[in-house]
């Protein structure tokens, strides 16, 4: 199935593209250089309504479908992976609150998320629990009307700027993944602190942090779902988010390809633009084909997840690993097109290449995605 966008979606893409080029592109290099949360860009994204797309109109959002959300992520990621990540991660609580939130939790937090009053951070990774979430050691113990959290987390995206975090802990270590639980933790909760801001290779404006919980008392009503629902909620959230991660990969790769194409037509060697050399033409053709193939798979996955189709989880894992592997290859080839200039910070391609690498790692490494896909395929025969 080839995905032909509706006229409304095409107009949305054009509007978002102009906004990104005019307002965000001038900031992209500085955001990467500073390595700080991009407050000004956040405000601009918020004003454009790109951080509230997925939230229902009831809570102040646009009620957009999953494909439209991925289109926004793709367009912003063409300019900056950091900002594409911001669009993606602000939507994470949707699946969590839909699947495990009470009406009170939804009423309390969704309007604040949709309005941009608070930023969200998703905290699951630990020093010894990355792909293997059953290895989570952060412990939550019920004491009266509160759960007491103790432990640490790492690589928590947007934690420095976040007002609320969804934190995954174990409430029953003996049960492994079936003993995991998820909590909403407000940033000013006593016992919660940020111990370190990670110095990342790419996505440098995402303020990825190391977190510490020391007798952190979280109200009992901040438990999402029931005790033991944590693993299920994490998987639902990641399945829903992975088409957005794939869209990030597509956007970063398309941005790099666009730049390489312009450069190839302008750069003269041996008396001709290098775009006239057949070897380079073959490289550009392969890059363009890979981007389009990943785009179509991403749109298919986004539609399947948005409609709740049975194969949505498989398709989202396929799209995530295919698009992010593609992004790494295409950005690397784009650097090669520029030669020595591509390796300098004067041009944006080295930043795009660094940003692309992150998409192969976060939300489940691409090796894990292949396991998800293989098990799904084997279960179908």
**In this structure, which topology does domain 120-228 adopt according to CATH?**
Butyryl-CoA Dehydrogenase, subunit A; domain 2 (2.40.110)
Strands (E), the chain: 120-123, 139-143, 146-156, 164-170, 180-186, 192-197, 209-219, 223-224, 268-269, 272-273
**Active-site residue flag, 363:** yes
Entry pTM = 0.94
Strands 120-123 and 164-170: parallel
Question: pLDDT at residue 2 above 70?
Answer: no
pLDDT tens per residue, range 136-154: 999 999 999 999 999 999 9
Question: pLDDT at residue 1 above 50?
Answer: no
Q: Is 44 exposed, middle or buried (0-12, 13-18, 19+ CB in 10 A)?
A: middle
pLDDT tens per residue, range 151-194: 999 999 999 999 999 999 999 999 988 999 999 999 999 999 99
In whole angstroms, give the CA distance from residue 243 to residue 314: 11
Encoded tokens for 327: 């992004």
In whole angstroms, give the CA distance from residue 216 to residue 152: 11
Query: What integer is the mean pLDDT of 346-367?
Result: 95
Average per-residue pLDDT for the chain: 94
pLDDT tens per residue, range 78-129: 999 999 999 998 887 888 888 889 999 999 999 999 888 999 999 999 998 8
- Residues 179, 149: contact at Cβ < 8 Å? no
In whole angstroms, give the CA distance from residue 224 to residue 97: 8
Question: pLDDT at residue 4 above 80?
Answer: no
- All structural domains of the chain with their residue ranges: 7-115, 120-228, 231-379
Percent of the chain with pLDDT over 70: 99
Q: 231-379 maps to which CATH number?
A: 1.20.140.10
In whole angstroms, give the CA distance from residue 377 to residue 318: 11
In whole angstroms, give the CA distance from residue 8 to residue 13: 9
Q: 7-115 maps to which CATH number?
A: 1.10.540.10
Q: Which positions ≥6 away from 118 have C-beta within 8 Å?
A: 109, 112, 162, 163, 164
**Computed over its alpha carbons, how large is the radius of gyration of the chain?**
21
Q: Which positions ≥6 away from 30 have C-beta within 8 Å?
A: none
pLDDT tens per residue, range 257-297: 999 999 999 999 999 999 999 999 999 999 999 999 999 99
Query: What integer is the mean pLDDT of 228-242?
Result: 91
pLDDT tens per residue, range 195-225: 999 999 999 999 899 999 999 999 999 999 9
Among the listed residues 74, 198, 350, 363, the single catalytic one is 363
Query: What integer is the mean pLDDT of 40-47?
Result: 95
């Amino acid at each position: 199935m080839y995905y032909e966008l509706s006229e409304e979606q095409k107009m949305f893409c054009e509007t978002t593209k102009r906004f990104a080029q005019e307002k965000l592109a001038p900031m992209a290099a500085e955001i990467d250089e500073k390595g700080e949360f991009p407050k000004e860009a956040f405000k601009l994204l918020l004003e454009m309504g790109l951080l509230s797309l997925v939230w229902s109109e009831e809570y102040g959002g646009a009620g957009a479908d999953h494909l439209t959300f991925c289109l926004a992520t793709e367009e912003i990621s063409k300019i900056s992976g950091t900002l594409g990540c911001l669009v993606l991660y602000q939507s994470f609580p949707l699946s969590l609150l839909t699947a495990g939130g009470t009406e009170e939790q939804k009423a309390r937090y969704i309007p604040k998320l949709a309005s941009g009053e608070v930023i969200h951070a998703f905290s699951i990774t630990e020093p010894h629990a990355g792909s293997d979430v059953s290895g989570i050691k952060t412990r939550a113990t019920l004491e009266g009307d509160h759960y007491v959290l103790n432990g640490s987390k790492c690589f928590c995206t947007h934690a420095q700027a976040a007002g609320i975090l969804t934190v995954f802990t174990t409430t029953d270590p003996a049960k492994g993944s079936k003993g995991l639980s998820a909590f909403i933790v407000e940033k000013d909760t006593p016992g919660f602190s940020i111990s370190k801001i990670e110095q990342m290779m790419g996505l440098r404006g995402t303020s990825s942090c190391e977190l510490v919980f020391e007798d952190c008392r979280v109200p009992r009503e901040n438990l999402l779902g029931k005790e033991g629902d944590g693993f299920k909620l994490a998987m639902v959230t990641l399945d829903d988010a992975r088409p957005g991660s794939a869209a990030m990969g597509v956007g970063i790769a398309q941005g790099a390809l666009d730049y390489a194409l312009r450069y190839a037509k302008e750069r003269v060697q041996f008396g001709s633009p290098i775009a006239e050399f057949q070897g380079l033409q073959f490289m550009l053709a392969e890059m363009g084909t890979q981007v389009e193939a990943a785009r179509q798979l991403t749109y298919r996955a986004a539609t399947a997840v948005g409609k709740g189709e049975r194969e949505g989880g498989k398709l989202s894992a396929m799209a995530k690993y295919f698009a992010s592997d593609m992004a790494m290859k295409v950005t690397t080839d784009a650097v090669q097109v520029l030669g020595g200039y591509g390796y300098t910070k004067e041009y944006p391609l080295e930043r795009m290449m660094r940003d692309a690498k992150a998409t192969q790692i976060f939300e489940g490494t691409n090796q894990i995605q292949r396991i998800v896909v293989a098990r799904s395929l084997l279960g179908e025969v």
